[in-house]
Amino acid sequence: MTTRLDAPSAPPTTARTARKLSDRVGRVRELGILVALALVVVPTALVNPRFIQPQSLRDLLLNASIVALLAVGQTLVVITRNVDLSVGSVLGLSAFLTAQQFADHPGTPLLAGIGFGVAVGLACGLLNGLLVALGNVPSLVVTLGTLYVFRGIDYALAQGRQVNAADLPDALLDLGSARVAGVPVLVLVTVVVIVVAAVYLRSYRSGRELYAIGSNPDAAVLAGIPVAKRTLTAFVASGLVAGLAGALWVARYGTVDAAAGTGLELQVVAAVVVGGVAIFGGSGTVAGAALGALLLGTITSCLVVLRIPAFWQQAIAGALLLSAITVDRLLALRLAKALRKSEGSSHA
């Protein structure tokens, strides 16, 4: 399901038609991802039945959970017609500082240590947001720069060191492997974040205003929407989620160095676009983005199981990204055509 806000000056009938059409397009896109998942999983399971065993499915969800979590924050940014390329570096910096906090202060409570990592991510997101929203600098330029700045800070602080699992508290490591009713806790945390973000975007005015900004920034300004404030909020939320993902990265993998999360930003952007979030802003859902992350993670796992060379993994991910952008553009053109017809008939 895709949510979209049109310009405030649009007639009520046209606005309702736009919402119905965009919702229908969103459902089709998300259903398409589920079909693609089935087309990937079924042949792989026929070749190797162990691929769909409970433990294999849990590992699949765990591997996709971090990217899906980052995709949630990225979605909030992309629907405002921006992009955050620094999420991988924010995750890496947050992960190392969280691990270092636990290693240097063994008595640190679990929630306090995770909260520290979230605070690091929030600070990074705030910097990005201030530069984009108040400095009026294109988000692509800002986050490309902070991608290297945050990673450089990470390497400077690490100085070639790494934090090992032996230096971390058992409570944190147990979090990475714990289950509730057979479902990994990290997956449940990701689901909770997805639900919270989905409710915010659909049920709160400030969330719906993010769609209005991405649909038509000039109309959003004329409608009195605080564009700078909402854009800042989106980047802060993205940083906060990336900080949480960094803390959970420590729980998941145990050993952390300055290279943690390198290259994740490209996977996240691919997941968001494949999941039906318009790269030009204004439409998409966090659920679709999470499904996109699951699809890309599943494809990677299937290629490993089928012993297909690693370079094909990146090639397929790139092909999916280009296909998703092409489909999104075609759907946007058809939606615009349908809206013009609807508006013409309403004035007839």
pLDDT above 60: residue 92: yes
Q: Which fold has domain 12-347?
A: ABC transporter involved in vitamin B12 uptake, BtuC (1.10.3470)
8 A C-beta contact, residue 163 and residue 256: yes
Percent of the chain exceeding pLDDT 70 equals 84
Instruction: Write down the residue that tokens 């691929």 correspond to.
Output: 51
* Amino acid letter, residue 293: A
- The whole-number pLDDT of residue 277 equals 87
- The whole-number pLDDT of residue 44 equals 85
Per the document, the length of the chain is 348
- The whole-number pLDDT of residue 342 equals 60
How distant is the alpha carbon of residue 129 from its chain centre? Answer: 17
Calculate mean pLDDT across residues 108-115. Answer: 93
pLDDT above 80: residue 32: no
Cα(321)–Cα(325) distance, integer angstroms: 6
Enter the DSSP assignment of 52.
G
Enter the DSSP assignment of 49.
G
Distances (CA, A) of 300 to 163, 254, 267: 28, 22, 11
Domain locations in the chain?
12-347
- The model's confidence at residue 247, banded by pLDDT at 50, 70 and 90, is very high
And the tokens for 25?
A: 């397009």
Q: What angle do CA 74, 334, 320 make, to 5 degrees?
A: 45
Region of poorest pLDDT, from 100-109, 175-184, 304-313: 304-313
Q: What is the pLDDT of residues 286-321, one digit of tens each?
A: 999 999 899 888 888 888 887 877 777 677 767 776
> Collapsing DSSP states into helix, strand and coil, what is residue 184?
strand
- The model's confidence at residue 10, banded by pLDDT at 50, 70 and 90, is very low
Q: What is the pLDDT of residues 120-177, one digit of tens each?
A: 999 999 999 999 999 889 999 999 999 999 999 999 999 988 999 888 998 998 888 8
pLDDT above 60: residue 254: yes
- The whole-number pLDDT of residue 54 equals 86
In three-state form (DSSP H/G/I as H, E/B as E, the rest C), the secondary structure along 249-289 is HHHHHCCECCCCCCCHHHHHHHHHHHCCCCCCCCCCCHHHH
Cα(128)–Cα(135) distance, integer angstroms: 10
What global pTM score does this model have?
Answer: 0.85
- The model's confidence at residue 36, banded by pLDDT at 50, 70 and 90, is confident
- Would you say the C-alpha torsion 222, 226, 227, 228 has a positive or negative sign? positive
Q: Which residues of 194-209 are buried (b: 16+ CB within 10 A; e: fewer)?
A: beebbebbeeeeebbb
- The whole-number pLDDT of residue 13 equals 47
Calculate mean pLDDT across residues 180-204. Answer: 93
